[in-house]
Amino acid sequence: MTRTPRLVAAAALACFASGVFAQAPALTGTLAKIRDTGTITVGHRESSIPFSYLDDKQQAVGYSMDICMRIVEGVRAELKNPGIKVALQPVTSANRIPLLQNGTIDIECGSTTNSVERQKLVAFGPTYFVINVTAAVKKNSPIKTLADLNGRTISTTAGTTSVPLLKRYEKTGGIDVKEIYGKDHSESFLLLVDDRVSAFVMDDVLLAGQIANARNPGDFVILNESLRTEPYSVMLRRDDPQFKALVDRVMTGLMKSGEIEKIYARWFLSPIPPRNVNLNFPITPALREAFKNPNDKGVQ
């Protein structure tokens, strides 16, 4: 049987097309879930100022939220579906990892430390902030160093890295403190405001955010000492290479283009809601290095 040129051409086109489609990997993990449901569920915090918190209109806003919305746009482009919806789910320090693992949320946009220990449970995007864990005290307090916390009651937020760090410091520093745990940073800070504790142990920038929005910001100071320097980033599920690659690509693009510095300036160098306070928190050398060389290394 002799094939006509038209049949030969059609057969060749069919083979080419099947080869192209065969090369496109099937969607898996989070991207497949979002494609099938038409929705990406974003976990956010309610009082992690200025990363992820509720403004005076009870809308989730902040530095982390702006970055995550760029990731959402990346997902819409990847799936070729601009109609992908965003569902917002409040999370706390205590439940954010379980809710990510069980599929309730698809990405967590807050103030979460990327640690080697947590990497056994979840994955992280590139570092977008670097903090120091320290303590806030009343300005008229005799507490000037972490060692001065000995014998006192302090507050910290349940489920944060501050808890094990403080326990470790108690052992190595020879101090003894009593802890009261707040469910979120606002509750932990209120314990200090009301003099129910002598100090609030937390990440320096989160302390600065709470103080800036306090009724009397001048009543508080942040200690210069640090328990540890830690990197923040968005959190996603482990063993999900397709979604991890997309998150890394979007965030690296923001860093390499300099766009992330514009987002940073909006939340750390400008008046922010709800009280239009300016944190005046310039980019540190450690953070500038993280922007220059994006990585997802966790702290030990």
pLDDT of 25: 80
CATH code, residues 131-229: 3.40.190.10
pLDDT of 21: 45
Q: Which of 203, 206, 207 is nearest to 226 (CA)?
A: 203
CATH fold for domain 29-128+233-292: D-Maltodextrin-Binding Protein; domain 2 (3.40.190)
- Asked if 199 and 270 touch (Cβ cutoff 8 Å), the reply is no
pLDDT of 209: 92
pLDDT of 24: 61
Domain ranges of the chain: 29-128+233-292, 131-229
Q: 120 — phi, psi (to 5°)?
A: -75, -15
Query: Mean pLDDT per 10-residue run, the chain (300 residues)?
Result: 49 49 77 98 96 96 98 98 98 96 98 96 98 96 95 94 88 90 95 97 94 93 94 98 98 98 97 92 94 96
pLDDT of 185: 94
Distance of alpha carbon 155 from alpha carbon 191, whole angstroms: 7
pLDDT of 23: 59
- Asked if 267 and 164 touch (Cβ cutoff 8 Å), the reply is no
pLDDT of 214: 92
- Asked if 207 and 136 touch (Cβ cutoff 8 Å), the reply is yes
